[in-house]
Structure 1
């Protein structure tokens, strides 16, 4: 019997996307047109910090929308990944931004605008 997680094409797509992009946001909508307030908040924070990132619209497929939740074991969208590491959703990103922790973290990872 094979492990479903290792052969799941949605998880394979997510893993490749996370590996291929230093900063990637799985969100509802796209960075130019977020389709929910939480996604919009994270996009605004990343834009404010001048972070170059890729947005993936999870609304393009139900499999992707559910797949990202099981991939990260995190129940909500958006989800931000930096250098392959799951950072958090909207509330965590906003709290990190307000405390200055997000800016420090992004600089440490070498992905913040200088």
Structure 2
């Protein structure tokens, strides 16, 4: 991992419990798939970092290289790549995502 962009991505992934690389922002998603994953995450009351890949072509390509996954959005939990929209949607529907995120829920 010699590329500065890949190092930057690795740092973001490792410094945040939950990271969503997406097109747009959670408040203003720029594609339906990113909107879907952000909406799912918002149902869990967990803090997460969001990286708008539309701000940098290098980051947009870099995240695909980092994960060896061709599409965006991409979700990472505890530095593990979870998947894109279809996988996150399926995990949400089966309760698997709830189980994965439960330890990260905000204390009230």
Give the TM-score taking structure 2 as reference length. Answer: 0.94
Question: Aligned pair 1:68/2:63, yes or no?
Answer: yes
Contact 1:21 1:83 in 2 (8 A): yes
Residue in structure 2 matched with residue 3 of structure 1 by the alignment:
none
Count of aligned residue pairs for this structure pair: 107
Q: CA offset at residue 113 of structure 1?
A: 4.6
Contact 1:25 1:79 in 2 (8 A): yes
Question: Aligned pair 1:112/2:105, yes or no?
Answer: yes
Residue in structure 2 matched with residue 12 of structure 1 by the alignment:
7
Give the TM-score taking structure 1 as reference length. Answer: 0.90
Q: Structure 2: which 5+ runs fail to align?
A: none
Rg (Cα) greater in structure: 1
Q: Structure 1: which 5+ runs fail to align?
A: 1-5
Q: CA offset at residue 49 of structure 1?
A: 1.3
Q: How does 1:89-108 map to 2 (within 5 A)?
A: 89-107=84-102
Q: Distance in 2 between matches of 1:37 and 1:87?
A: 18
- Residues 85-110 of structure 1: CA distance to partner in whole angstroms, max 9, x if unpaired? 00010000000001111101112xx2
Q: Distance in 1 between matches of 2:90 and 2:106?
A: 20
Counterpart secondary structure, 1:29: coil
Counterpart secondary structure, 2:60: helix
